Amino acid sequence: MNYRKELEQGQSKTLTTAIVKEVANSQKRMDELMQCFVDGPIRITQRAAWPMSDIAKKHPHLLLKYYPTLITLLNQKDKPDAINRNILRALQFVTLPEEYEGSILDVSFRLLNSTTEPVAVKAFSMTVIYNLTFKYPDIVPELKASITALLPNGSMGIKSRGNKILKAIQE
Give the residue extent of every domain in the chain.
1-94, 96-171
The pLDDT profile of the chain, 171 residues, written as one tens digit per residue, is: 999 999 999 999 999 999 999 999 799 999 999 999 999 898 999 899 999 999 999 999 999 999 999 999 999 988 888 889 989 999 999 999 999 999 999 999 999 999 999 999 999 999 999 999 999 999 999 999 999 999 999 999 999 999 999 999 987
Q: How many CA atoms lie within 13 A of 139 on its CB side?
A: 19
SS (H, E, C) 116-141: CCCHHHHHHHHHHHHHHHCCCHHHHH
Q: What is the pTM of this model?
A: 0.91
Query: Shortest CA distance to 53 belongs to which of 77, 70, 28?
Result: 70
Residues 6+ apart with CB under 8 A from 94: 56, 60, 63
